[in-house]
Amino acid sequence: MKVKEVIRILKTYDTEEQIAVTWFCREDTEGWYDNLPTKEQWDLACENFENHTFDQLNDLLLDVLENIMEETNES
């Protein structure tokens, strides 16, 4: 996803609202591999990521939130 698209989407939110966000840029992968991925490799990875269902990320957020809610509702 291009940064300008993220900015467009984020502008629709109340600026005081809390949201859960994660992102990566190609430079973030420095140290993960011997060399940074090429721009073409990174673009392909981003395209594949955009087509992902995000089920794993949704499940993680739901698990974290559920645990927090259970802990705070007990007190």
Average pLDDT per run of 10 along the chain, which is 75 residues long? 91 93 86 87 84 75 82 74
Q: pLDDT, tens digit, for every residue of 56-74?
A: 777 877 888 888 888 888 6
For the chain, the distance separating the N- and C-terminal CA atoms, rounded to the nearest angstrom, is 41
Taking the C-alpha atoms of residue 74 and residue 42, their distance in angstroms, rounded to an integer, is 45
What pLDDT score was predicted for residue 15? 93
What per-residue confidence (pLDDT) applies to 69? Answer: 82
What per-residue confidence (pLDDT) applies to 17? 94
- 3-class DSSP state of 33: strand
* pTM higher than 0.85: no
